[in-house]
Chain A
Amino acid sequence: MRLKLRYGDFIVFLVIVLVAALLVAAFYQNDTNQKTAIILQNNTVIERVDLTRISQRYLINYYGEYPGTIEVNNGKIRFLSAECPDKVCVNTGWIDKPGQMAVCLPAGVIIKIEGVQTDTDIIVK
């Protein structure tokens, strides 16, 4: 009798899926040709990197209780190493699309990518 599903189970399931879908729609961003990675530590911007312009490997260190290093390369960005206990940030890997982000909760560091769509590809004068 306990194993039998009730109608409420399906309602709970559908409500959760619906909320998830709405959130995905709310946070979805189109891919753009200009991308800026914003690195925040405890809600203060510690660095802004124009991903479309940087072609060489570039490292950013952050400090605090759990310090770490962020790597920018080939228009992508990631947590290279971190001293936090869970390493979720490093496991996230490379991110390169607007709306994507990598987070190190223990260190309070967020990397998020914001895109600006410029309609013109090239300006010819």
Chain B
Amino acid sequence: MKKLTLNSILISLALVLSFVERFIPLNLLVPVPGLKLGLANIVTMFALFYLDIPSAITITVLRCVLASLIFGGMSSLIYSLSGAFFALVIMIILKLGYEKAFSLVGISMGGAAAHNSGQIVAASLMMKNTAIFAYLPILLITGLVTGILTAIIAMNLFLVFDKNNRVKY
């Protein structure tokens, strides 16, 4: 029961984050479709590190579905789901080497790059055209920047949680 509640809270938190980042006009800076900060990934990383893989999957999938029901659309659901799926797989793999080979920064950067690649693959399949792959380099480089940013936020968050040792269920 406690797990259900915690997961629900995390889903709503992820939803709020993906709603808030829509108001940050990154697209005016770099007008590329699919560009975003990826703040909701902080929640996914939290679930991966403090809860378990099934929770992380549930939170991510439900966040994508709810976000596209509220402010996206059918096509945005397919893009965000495929991006989130690729990102989760890569982050689960990279997490195996956590503290030995990778820090949160590497995991977050890898997740961001996987998210962008997944989105582009889905978009090119939907539009049946590979031209959209020309956007991938810009997305990968901006993903490095946003990946480092979200990793810094997540690190500080994790430090607070470790100090208080509050997450137990």
Contact = CB atoms under 8 A, between A and B. Distances in A.
The secondary structure that dominates the A interface is: mixed
Interface stretch (A2-10, A48-56, A69-77, A116-124): A2-10
Interface residues of B, number: 44
Nearest to A25: B137
B75 A91 contact: no
Given A85-B73, A101-B131, A106-B73, 5 more contacts: A8-B106, A12-B109, A16-B110, A105-B127, A110-B129
Interface string A23-57: 11001000000000000101100000000000000
The secondary structure that dominates the B interface is: helix
B133 A108 contact: no
B106 A93 contact: no
Nearest to A87: B27
A86 B140 CA distance: 20
Given A6-B102, A8-B94, A16-B144, A86 B155 contact: no
A110 B127 contact: yes
A6 B31 contact: no
B159 to A, nearest CB: 7
A23 B138 CA distance: 10
A103 B33 contact: yes
Contacts of A3: 103, 155
Contacts, number: 115
Interface in B25-75: 27-28, 31-35, 71, 73, 75
B31 A93 contact: yes
Interface of A: 1-9, 11-13, 16-17, 19-21, 23-24, 27, 40, 42-43, 85-89, 91-93, 99, 101, 103-106, 108, 110, 112
Contact of A91 (B27, B105, B133, B135): B27
Contacts of A6: 97, 99-103, 106
